C-alpha cells in the first residue's frame, strides 16, 4: 500500500491511526514536509474564509495571514503530487492565481496540467452541503467523483453560496463547529485514494 502524507490534520481527527497514512498535525508542522509521499492537504481556512475581511477589520488579523500554511500545502502538492481541499469560494484561490472551478467535473489547466473541481461533501456523508474546492496534481487524470449536490439537513453558517457564487440566507439549523469542520470518512477515503493514484511511482 502506497503511503500518503496527510498535512494539516487534527490531532485526534479521522486521519490518525490509518494504515498507509502519515499524519502531520500541529505538533509536526506540516509546512516543513519534504516528501517523498503524495499528499492530502487540509490547510487551515479561517484566514481565507468569507468572514476573513470582517475579522481583519474588527480584530486586525489580516486576510491570508495563515503563517504560510496554504502556500506550503500548494507547493507540497505541486512537488509530490496529491490533492488539496479548501472551502468553495476561498479567498486563497485568487490570491494564488488558481482558477475557480465550474460545476459538474474536473477542469485541467492548460498552463501546468493541474486540475480543479467543486464537490459537495454532502454527497459523501456530510450533514451540510459544504461545497468544497479541490486542487490536484498527478501523473494521471484524477478519478470521476460524485457530482451530485444533496441538500444538507444542516448548515455550516448563517449564509451560503449558490453554484454561481451568489449568497443566500440559510434557514437551516447550524451544526456544531467541530462537526462542520470534520471530514466525513467516505470523503477522507476518497481524498486518500486520489492522492495514492497521483504518482505512477514513489519519488526518489
pLDDT tens column, 114-155:
999 999 999 999 888 889 999 999 999 999 999 999 987 656
- Rounded to an integer, the average pLDDT of 69-86 is 97
Q: Check if the beta carbon of residue 191 is closer than 8 Å to that of residue 164.
A: no
Q: How many helices (H) and strands (E) does the chain have?
A: 5, 9
Residue 200, Cα to own-chain centre: how many angstroms?
Answer: 23
Query: Which pLDDT score is estimated for 122?
Result: 93
pLDDT tens, position by position, 22-69: 999 999 999 999 999 999 999 988 878 766 556 655 655 676 678 999
Q: Check if the beta carbon of residue 61 is closer than 8 Å to that of residue 55.
A: yes
Query: Which pLDDT score is estimated for 158?
Result: 47
Pairwise pLDDT comparison (161 vs 128), residue with the higher score: 128
Domain borders along the chain are 4-149+178-196
Residue 169 reports pLDDT greater than 60: no
Q: Which grid coordinates are listed for 167? A: 449568497
Residue 107, Cα to own-chain centre: how many angstroms?
Answer: 16
Query: Which pLDDT score is estimated for 126?
Result: 84
Q: Which of 95, 100, 90, 51 is nearest to 71 (CA)?
A: 95
pLDDT tens, position by position, 174-195: 665 555 567 999 999 999 999 9
Q: How confident is the model at residue 87 (pLDDT cuts 50, 70, 90)?
A: very high
Residue 1 reports pLDDT greater than 60: yes
In the chain, DSSP assigns E strands to 4-7, 21-24, 39-41, 82-87, 107-108, 115-120, 131-137, 159-161, 167-169
Amino acid at each position: 500500500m502506497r503511503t500518503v502524507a496527510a498535512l494539516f490534520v487534527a490531532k485526534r481527527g479521522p486521519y490518525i491511526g490509518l494504515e498507509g497514512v502519515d499524519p502531520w498535525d500541529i505538533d509536526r508542522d506540516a509546512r516543513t514536509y519534504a516528501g517523498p509521499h503524495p499528499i492530502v492537504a487540509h490547510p487551515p481556512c479561517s484566514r481565507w474564509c468569507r468572514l476573513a475581511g470582517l475579522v481583519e477589520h474588527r480584530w486586525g488579523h489580516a486576510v491570508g495571514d495563515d503563517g504560510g500554511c496554504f502556500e506550503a500545502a500548494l507547493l507540497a502538492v505541486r512537488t509530490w503530487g496529491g490533492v488539496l481541499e479548501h472551502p468553495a469560494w476561498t479567498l486563497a484561490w485568487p490570491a494564488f492565481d488558481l482558477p475557480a472551478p465550474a460545476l459538474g467535473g474536473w477542469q485541467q489547466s492548460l498552463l501546468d496540467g493541474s486540475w480543479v473541481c467543486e464537490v459537495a461533501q454532502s454527497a459523501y456523508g456530510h450533514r451540510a452541503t459544504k461545497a468544497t474546492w479541490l486542487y490536484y496534481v498527478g501523473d494521471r487524470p484524477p478519478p470521476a467523483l460524485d457530482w451530485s449536490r444533496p441538500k444538507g439537513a444542516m448548515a455550516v453558517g448563517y449564509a451560503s453560496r449558490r453554484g454561481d457564487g451568489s449568497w443566500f440566507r440559510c434557514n437551516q439549523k447550524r451544526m456544531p463547529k467541530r462537526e462542520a469542520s470534520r471530514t466525513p470518512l467516505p470523503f477522507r477515503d476518497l481524498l486518500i485514494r486520489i492522492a495514492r493514484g497521483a504518482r505512477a511511482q514513489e519519488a526518489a
